[in-house]
Amino acid sequence: MNQKQSATSSLDFSGYEKTHALRSIFQVAVNLELPLAVWRSPHQKEINLMLSFNKVKEVERPDLETSDKGFIFSPFDPKSGATLFIKSDFHVSFDFDEIIQHEDLTSREGALQAEFLKNVKQQLSTPQEKVNYHVKDQARTEADLDYKDLVQLGVKAIKNNEFQKVVPARSKTISLNADFDLITKYLQLCDAYANAFVSIVSMPETGTWLGATPELLLEVNHSQFKTVALAGTQKRDIDKPISDTAWTQKEIEEQALVSRYIINCFKKIRLREYNEKGPKTIIAGNLLHLKTEFEVNMKETNFPELGTVMLELLHPTSAIAGMPKEASLNFIHQHEGFDRSFYSGYLGPVQIEQKTSIFVNLRCMQLLENDAILYAGAGVTEDSVAQKEFEETEMKFNTLLNILNSAS
Ligand SMILES: C=C(O[C@H]1C=CC=C(C(=O)O)[C@@H]1O)C(=O)O
């Protein structure tokens, strides 16, 4: 029988630089083929590393309220793969220099933890410049249709009244610099994008994904529920105050469609009491977006399972699929021509101190041995110009490329 035991940790990180400790734990987890996630929430300093001493779990229908503590990682399309859950068996929180650990393990997990801790100690005393990460070999699919042609096809379908909006995406493969180090780049992303959710998800089943997303899908913090409608993109001019930003009619409508989608989800469950704030301009690294926030008090509305219900209704939102959902998804499946995999899926920590924060996996890339695949999409409406949407995806790639190409 697997008896639960509360293992006391024998790891002492004092005297080690935070980056070195993070690097050491990451390296040992990968060596032991453990699934792990690293994240830094928007506007926080603290970096979290969570791992499981078990294989990642497949979840058919996430139940956020009754879930174990862990990290959820879901592809865009449920048909392309299951939603995965890394149960938290070990969670280190790098809060400035303080490191907190939580464990509650079975005896098998405890034995693996002992090996893990022993290896981390060894690794801590070894100077290290680079970490390895999980790589999943995969057949690379290149889209048949040129992106601008795909956008034009979308505009034509909109003019034909097939749907109102679609968000076609593309991918781009780049070579990694010979001195690429995942942890160095991760920390640079955290510094550069204070208001993004910056993450690494690495496991044998999915390989390694790195991202800095600006888009919250949903948050449940005690009894407070939040979601946002994020859309409309322009390049940020750092010399200009964001209050001076002007948006075109096309961008205003594109974002309003995402807000309308969220309000329709509330309508479906007869939820009438919500607070709506916005839209306002927000900074997302090198870009600006329009954002409206929606908040619900789950106690006052007597809706304790709102997180789970809304996760099912919201994903994929019209910020990544289109409006109406079914027709735009059909278009994407029929014409996009490549597997989005975990791009525009969702990810985030679940039930950590009664808080769940799930983000849309944007501005992300999948790391291969020597290459990386970047992903980006753009919201297409009746007034879209193909060249502009193409440039927008290039700007979205730059969120990561600016950091990848910077000196380490
Ligand atoms: C689909 C992406 O962004 C979405 C989120 C914000 C703005 C968007 C836009 O303006 O098109 C997209 O809807 C992406 O980054 O790949």
- Please write the tens of the pLDDT for every residue from 339-389: 999 999 999 999 998 999 999 999 999 999 999 999 999 999 999 999 999
Closest CA to 23 of 100, 126, 109: 126
Which residue has the least CA distance to atom 1 on ligand 1? Answer: 377
The answer, yes or no, to whether residue 5 has pLDDT greater than 50, is: no
Amino acid found at 114: A
104 has a pLDDT exceeding 80: no
What is the reported pTM?
0.94
Predicted pLDDT of residue 51: 95
User: What's the average model confidence in pLDDT over 130-135?
Assistant: 92
The ligand 1 atom nearest the CA atom of 343: 16
Question: pLDDT-derived band of residue 79, with 50, 70 and 90 as boundaries?
Answer: confident
| Residue 170 pLDDT greater than 90, yes or no | yes
68 alpha carbon – ligand 1 mean position (Å): 31
3-class DSSP assignment, residue 250: helix
pLDDT bracket for residue 110 (50, 70, 90): confident
Lowest mean pLDDT among 109-123, 196-210, 329-343: 109-123
Whose alpha carbon is nearest atom 7 of ligand 1?
Answer: 231
Q: How far does residue 125's CA lie from ligand 1's centre (Å)?
A: 43
In short, whether 377's Cβ falls inside 6 Å of ligand 1 is yes
pLDDT for the residue numbered 408: 62
**How far is 384 from 329, CA to CA, in rounded Å?**
18
347 lines ligand 1 (CB under 6 A): no
> Which atom from ligand 1 is nearest to the alpha carbon of 379?
11
Give the pLDDT score at 10.
59
Q: Which atom of ligand 1 is nearest to the CA of 320?
A: 1
Banded pLDDT at 139 (limits 50, 70, 90): low
What percent of the chain is modeled with pLDDT above 90? Answer: 81
Tokens of 359: 């983000």
Asked if the structure places residue 8 within a domain, the reply is no
What are 225's strand-pairing partners? 220, 296
Task: Write out the two tokens for 172.
Answer: 């781009």
For residue 289, how far is its CA from the centre of ligand 1 (angstroms)?
9
Does any ligand 1 atom lie closer than 6 A to the CB of residue 203?
Answer: no
What residue owns the CA closest to ligand 1's atom 6?
Answer: 231
Q: Domain of 290?
A: 13-139+146-407
Does the C-beta of 323 come closer than 6 Å to ligand 1?
Answer: no
One-letter amino acid at 265 equals C
pLDDT of residue 102 exceeding 90, the answer is no
Contact by Cβ (8 Å): 109, 42: no
Edge to edge, what strands does the sheet with 224-235 contain? 57-59, 83-87, 70-74, 346-350, 355-360, 216-221, 224-235, 287-297, 275-284
Residue 28 CB neighbours (<10 A): 22
290 in any annotated domain: yes
Asked whether 362 and 215 are in contact (CB, 8 A), the reply is yes
* Domain-located, residue 3: no
Percent helix, strand, coil in the chain, to 5, is 30, 30, 40
Measure 377 CA to ligand 1 centroid, in angstroms.
6
* Percentage, residues of the chain above pLDDT 70: 93
Ligand 1 within 6 A of 131 CB?
no
How confident is residue 6, by pLDDT bands cut at 50, 70 and 90? Answer: very low
Mean pLDDT, the chain, whole residue set:
92
State the distance from the centre of ligand 1 to the C-alpha of 252, rounded, in angstroms.
Answer: 13
Per-residue pLDDT, averaged over 100-112, amounts to 74
Q: Cβ(379)–Cβ(248) under 8 Å?
A: no
> For residue 378, which of 361, 364, 395 has the smallest C-alpha distance?
395
Is 7 part of a structural domain of the chain?
no
Does residue 151 fall inside a structural domain? yes
Four-residue CA torsion sign, 241, 243, 247, 253? positive
pLDDT range class, residue 128, cuts 50, 70, 90: confident
Q: Is 379 in the pocket of ligand 1 (CB under 6 A)?
A: yes
Domain with 355 in it: what CATH number? 3.60.120.10
Residue 329 lies in a domain: yes
User: What pLDDT was estimated at residue 215?
Assistant: 98
User: Does residue 6 lie in a domain region?
Assistant: no
Which atom number of ligand 1 is nearest to the Cα of residue 389?
Answer: 11
CA dist., res. 199 & res. 400, Å (int): 12
- Whether ligand 1 lies within 6 angstroms of the CB of 319 is answered as yes
Rounded Cα distance between 351 and 402, Å, is 33
What total number of domains does the chain contain? 1
Q: Cβ atoms within 10 A of the Cβ of 371, count?
A: 13
Q: Is 4 among the domain residues?
A: no
Q: How far is CA 59 from CA 106, 235, 294, 343, in A?
A: 21, 38, 27, 18
Q: Residue 105: CB within 6 Å of ligand 1?
A: no
Residues recorded for the chain: 408
Q: Which atom of ligand 1 is nearest to the CA of 231?
A: 7
For a substitution probing ligand 1, which of 197, 216, 230, 329 has the most ligand atoms within 8 Å of its CB?
A: 230
Please give the average per-residue pLDDT across 16-36, as a whole number. 92
Q: How confident is the model at residue 18 (pLDDT cuts 50, 70, 90)?
A: confident
**Which residue's CA is the nearest one to ligand 1's atom 2?**
377
Mean per-residue pLDDT for 237-249?
93
Q: Is 230 in the pocket of ligand 1 (CB under 6 A)?
A: yes
Could you tell me which residue, 1 or 396, shows the higher pLDDT? Answer: 396
Per-residue pLDDT, 101: 55
Q: At what angle do helices 18-31 and 107-124 cross, to 10 degrees?
A: 130
pLDDT of residue 141: 66
CB atoms within 10 A of CB 7: 17
Residue 15: pLDDT band (50, 70, 90) is: confident
Does the structure show a pLDDT above 70 at 3?
no
